[in-house]
Amino acid sequence: MYAYRMAYDGRPFHGFQRQPDVSTVEDALLDGLAHLGVVSREDDVPTGYSAAGRTDAGVSAIGQTIAFSGPDWLTPQVLNGALPDSVHAWARAEVPESFHARYDAILRVYTYRLLADRLDEGLTRQALSTLSGVHDFRHLTSDTARTRRVVHIDVTRNDRWLCIEVAAPGFARQQVRRIVGVASAIGAGEVPLDRIGRLLSAEPLPGHLNVAPAPPEPLCLRHVRYGDVDFAVDSDAMQRMQAYLKTEAGAAATRSRSFEQAYDWLNHG
């Protein structure tokens, strides 16, 4: 039985988990396993299959983890040969047959980048500090059970960006995006800081006090930690992934600069 570290660009997909009639990361993965003969049909899953998380539509990952009983020859590089360019396996570890990628995870780390230019950085940091800790996040998720969670939030500044890292043993649905959405709205002056008290209370929340989740694209599942699992990085697979990321980063920088120039032209004539 093997566990694989997976990275993917979430933009082309409707989330990780397989769904009918839409393209997902799990679809691409299982299609690839069928193409390689690891499973007999595209709608089959291999024995012992599990995944660490179910990221939303548009959310990316570099630390997603999957596990299943597969052949020894199925290295990350071989698996990548049957996957689209936006999905990459980059490391592998041999694990016990009882291993479960979701239930054996002891920590998950998500990152989110906010453009700081139009935010009050002090207020944004204060909001995130208040949201860090042990709270009932029932008003910051669509889940109705297991909403009491412990999270640790760290914020650093990198040029024009606030880099937000949210770590916890597990997360409720949309929890990270809603945390960032609240902090962003407070930093932008759209929501008062004391709204957090209402959002973290057990009392029913009127609909007009809800805060929308932040957009999914800047969110990334960065790491999933396990106790005694030793992943071996596949250098060829890592180079392939890095090449893809470099190409996409260059394309994004070009688009961003084009929009900035258009704004300047319209603003200054």
Measured torsion, CA atoms of residues 50, 235, 10, 55, in degrees rounded to the nearest 10: 30
Rounded Cα distance between 30 and 26, Å, is: 6
Say which of 9, 56, 104, 234 is annotated catalytic.
Answer: 56
Report whether 82 contacts 224 (CB < 8 A).
no
SS3 of 239, please? helix
Rounded Cα distance between 9 and 25, Å, is: 9
Q: What is the DSSP string of 92-146?
A: EEE--TT--TTTT--EEEEEEEEE-TTS-HHHHHHHHHHHSEEEE-GGGSS-SSS
Q: Is 31 a catalytic residue?
A: no
Report whether 121 contacts 128 (CB < 8 A).
no
**Which phi and psi (to 5°) does residue 130 adopt?**
-65, -35
Please give the positions annotated as active site. Answer: 56
